[in-house]
Amino acid sequence: MPTMEPLAIGIALLVIIISSLVFACFCLRGRSKGRVVCLLGLSNSGKTLLFMRLVSGGFARTQTSMKENKANYSITTKKGSTTEIDLVDVPGDERIRQRVFQQYIEALLGVVILIDSVNFQSRDVAHLLIDLLSEPRVNRKRIPIIIACNKQDLALASSAEDIRTKLENEITQILTSQSVKLSSLDQSKERKKVELLRNDEQTFSFEDSPNNITITSCSARGTGDESSCTPEIEDVTSWLNTLQ
Amino acid sequence: MLDLFTIFTKGGIVLWYFQGTALSLTPAVNSLVKTVLLQERGGMDVFNHESLKLQFKLDNEFELIFVVVYQKILQLAYLDKLMEQVQLAFRDKYKNRLTNSTPLNPSMYSEFGDVFKNILFSLEEADRQSRQKPREMKHWNGTKKKENVTKPFNGKPQEEEEEEIGEEINGIEDVQEETGGREEGENGIDATSSLSSSSGSLPNSDKIRKIIASKTKKSSSTKTTSKKTVKPSNGKPKTKEARQWMVGGSKGDTKALDYSGGAPPTTNGVNHDEEKDLSLKGSMIGQLQPVDQDTPKESGGGGVFSLFKSITAGRVITAESIGPVMEKMKEHLITKNVAIEIADKLCSSVTGKLDGKTIGTFSGIQSVVKSSVEEALVQILSPKVRIDVLQDALKAKEAGRPFVVTFCGVNGVGKSTNLAKICFWLLENGLRVLIAACDTFRSGAVEQLKTHTCRLSSLHPPEREGGPPRVLLFERGYGKDAASICMEAVNFARQQRYDVVLVDTAGRMQDNEPLMVSLAKLIRVNSPDLVLFVGEALVGNEAVDQLVKFNRALIDFADSSDQNPRSIDGIVLTKFDTIDDKVGAAISMTYTTGQPIVFVGTGQTYQDLRTLNVQAVVAALLK
**Are A94 and B102 in contact (CB < 8 Å)?**
no
Cβ pair A69:B285 closer than 8 A: no
Q: Where in chain A are the domains? A: 1-33, 34-240
pLDDT (0 to 100) of residue A60: 83
Are B565 and B558 a contacting pair, CB within 8 Å? yes
Rg (CA), chain B: 36
Give yes or no for B105 touching A (CB within 8 A).
yes
What is the predicted pLDDT for the residue at B234?
Answer: 56
Q: Is the peptide bond before B157 cis (omega within 30 degrees of 0)?
A: no
B107 touches chain A (CB under 8 A): yes
Beta-bridge partners for B332: none
CATH number where B450 lies? 3.40.50.300
Q: pTM for this one? A: 0.68
| pLDDT score recorded for residue A181 | 45
| The one-letter amino acid at A78 | K
Q: Specify the pLDDT at position A189.
A: 43
Q: Which of residues 6-25 of A touch B (CB under 8 A)?
A: 22, 25
**Residue B523 is assigned to a structural domain of this protein:** yes
One-letter amino acid of B546 = Q
* Residue A46: closest C-alpha in chain B: B12
Closest B-chain CA to A65 = B12
Q: For residue A94, give how far its alpha carbon lies from the nearest alpha carbon of chain B (Å).
A: 6
Mean pLDDT of B131-141: 72
Are B290 and A189 inside 8 Å of each other by CB? yes
Residue B112 belongs to some domain of the structure: yes
Q: Which of B285, B419, B415, B305 is nearest to B360 (CA)?
A: B305
Residue of B nearest to A58 (CA): B105
pLDDT of residue B602: 87
Q: What percent of chain B stands above pLDDT 70?
A: 71
Count of domains in chain B?
2
Residue with more model confidence, B248 or A65: A65
The answer, yes or no, to whether residue B423 has pLDDT greater than 90, is: yes
What integer best gives the mean pLDDT of chain B? 78
CB neighbourhood size of A28 (10 A): 10
Answer whether A95 sits within 8 Å of B379, measured CB to CB: yes
Q: Per-residue pLDDT for A72 more than 80?
A: yes
Nearest CA in chain A to B293: A189
Of B26, B63, B285, the CB nearest to A61: B26
Query: Which residue, B486, B482, B502, B313, is CA-closest to B407?
Result: B502
Query: Greater confidence, A90 or B463?
Result: A90
Instruction: List, in sequence order, every beta strand (DSSP E) within chain A.
Output: 36-41, 69-76, 82-89, 108-116, 145-150, 213-217
User: What SS3 class is residue A220?
Assistant: coil
pLDDT tens digits for range B440-493: 888 899 999 999 999 999 988 887 777 788 999 999 989 889 999 999 999 999
Q: Which domain holds residue B15?
A: 4-131
Stretch among A183-192, B133-142, B166-175, B577-586 having the lowest mean pLDDT? A183-192
Average pLDDT over residues B14-31: 85
For residue B196, the model assigns a pLDDT of: 45
Residue B154 pLDDT grade (very low, low, confident, very high; cuts 50, 70, 90): low
Reduced to 3 states (helix: H, G, I; strand: E, B; else coil), residue B233 is: coil
> Pick the residue with more confidence: B264 or A167?
A167
Regarding beta strands B358-359 and B315-316, do their DSSP bridges make them parallel or antiparallel, or are they unpaired? antiparallel
* CA distance to partner chain B, nearest, from residue A139 (Å): 23
- What is chain A's alpha carbon radius of gyration, rounded to the nearest angstrom? 23
B195-201 contacts at long range (C-beta below 8 A, 24 or more positions apart)? B199/B171, B199/B172, B199/B175
Within a domain: residue B312? yes
Q: What pLDDT score was predicted for residue B438?
A: 92
d(CA A100, CA B358): 21
Nearest Cα neighbor of B436 from B398, B403, B387, B399 is B403
Amino acid (1-letter code) at residue B491: N
Beta-sheet strand order (sheet of B52-59): B14-19, B4-9, B64-71, B52-59, B46-49
Q: Is the pLDDT of residue A29 over 60?
A: no
Residue B56 DSSP label: E
Mean pLDDT for B179-207 is: 48
Give the tens place of pLDDT for each residue, B212-224.
Answer: 666 555 555 544 4
CA distance A123 to B160: 72
DSSP for residue A232: B
**Residue after which a domain boundary falls, among B101, B131, B161:** B131
Instruction: Give me the pLDDT at residue A130, please.
Output: 87
Decide if B287 and A25 are in contact by the 8 Å CB cutoff: no
Cα(B606)–Cα(A188) distance, integer angstroms: 18
Whether B300 contacts chain A with CB within 8 A: no
Q: Does A122 touch chain B (CB under 8 A)?
A: no
pLDDT at B253: 64
- Which residues does A104 contact at the CB level (< 8 Å), separation at least 6? A36, A38, A88, A90
Count CA atoms within 13 Å of residue B309 on its CB side. Answer: 13
In the prediction, which pLDDT does B437 show? Answer: 93
Diameter of chain A measured on Cα atoms: 88
* Position B349 pLDDT exceeds 60: yes
Q: Quote the pLDDT of residue B188.
A: 46
Of A71, A93, A185, the CB nearest to B34: A93
Which pLDDT score is estimated for A39?
92
B551 by Cβ neighbours in 10 Å (0-12 / 13-18 / 19+) ranks as buried
Give the residue-averaged pLDDT of B344-352: 88
Decide: helix, strand or coil at residue B570: strand
Question: Which of B114, B131, B148 delimits the end of a domain?
Answer: B131
Sign of CA dihedral B357, B359, B365, B367: negative
Q: Give the three-class secondary structure for B160.
A: helix
The CATH number linked to B75 is 3.30.450.60
Task: Answer whether residue B412 is part of any domain.
Answer: yes
- Sequential DSSP letters for A143-181: --EEEEEE-TTSTTPPPHHHHHHHHHHHHHHHHHHHHHH
- How big is the CA angle at A122 (ends A119 and A126), to the nearest 5 degrees? 140
Four-way CATH pick for A34-240: 3.40.50.720, 3.40.50.300, 3.40.190.10, 2.30.40.10: 3.40.50.300
Check residue B340 and give its pLDDT. Answer: 92
Contacts of A120 (CB under 8 A, 6+ apart): A158, A163, A166
Please name the residue of chain A whose CA is at the shortest distance from the CA of residue B36.
A66
Residue B249 has pLDDT above 50, yes or no: yes
